[in-house]
Chains A and B, each alone.
Chain A
Amino acid sequence: MKNSLKVERAINNYTQEELAKKIGVSRQTINSIETNRYVPSTLLALKLSRLFNKPVNEFFTLDDED
């Protein structure tokens, strides 16, 4: 699964730390999601969707391997 979390974060002008605080996770978790080392839960994806005011599948997309 690919994601454009970094881009969305830049559009909304959030640092990793700020975004982490807003959705109640650590900065390390945001970094791991951005670098595709961790796939977040539906709950976290929906929190991000609410924050960015965009549907989840606009910033999380399936890979060819998925």
Chain B
Amino acid sequence: MNIKSASECEDRRILKFINFKLPNYYKKIGWIGFTISFVILLSTKYFDGDFSILIELLKRLLLVFLLIVVMSKEKVEDEMIKSIRSQAFSFAFVGAVAYTLLQPTVNLIVSAIVRPDKVIFEDLGDFQVLWFMMIVYLVVFMKLKKRA
């Protein structure tokens, strides 16, 4: 194998990895799993007991199922869908970065106004950031798809 074909092979492998999408039926699996996890997560509020480990586990599951939905192909995955997908991804990425930077600052300002004696600076957790990013992606994607 010469250097050119080795580099082409490497490029193809990278592109295959970047463009990887799950088959369309995974979308249904993702939404069903997400709904079940969400309902269980909500129902823990109505029962007594220490569910902290279960809650953390369910939060991770919610993110995994959302990721499955995000990574699933549409019924017809053509170039317009790919274009809409990349627009939604870039919007969600910028939105999540802005949210991560602004939200703690807004919280800090509000806490300084409400309780100047006890100002708290709290960073966002990974769950909040990832949740926000995927929800924004899905909302923007659906909106753009409906508009097209």
Give residues in A with beta carbon < 8 Å to B: 24-26, 28-29, 32, 37-38, 40-41, 43-44
Contact = CB atoms under 8 A, between A and B. Distances in A.
A25 B83 contact: no
23 contacts: A24-B78, A25-B76, A25-B78, A26-B75, A26-B76, A26-B80, A26-B81, A28-B80, A28-B145, A29-B76, A29-B78, A29-B79, A29-B81, A29-B148, A32-B148, A37-B147, A37-B148, A38-B80, A38-B83, A40-B79, A40-B80, A43-B79, A44-B79
**Main SS at interface, chain B:** helix
Contacts of A44: 79
A24 to B, nearest CB: 7
B112 to A, nearest CB: 46
A43 B78 CA distance: 12
Contacts, number: 31
A41 B79 contact: yes
- Ranked nearest first, the 9 interchain pairs of A and B with the lowest CB-CB distance are A26-B76, A25-B78, A29-B80, A32-B148, A38-B80, A41-B79, A29-B78, A26-B78, A37-B148
Given A37-B148, A38-B148, A32 B78 contact: no
A26 B83 CA distance: 14
A44 B80 CA distance: 10
B148 A28 contact: yes
Contact of A25 (B80, B145, B147): B80
A20 to B, nearest CB: 8
B117 to A, nearest CB: 55
Interface string B73-87: 001101111010000
Contacts of A25: 76, 78-80
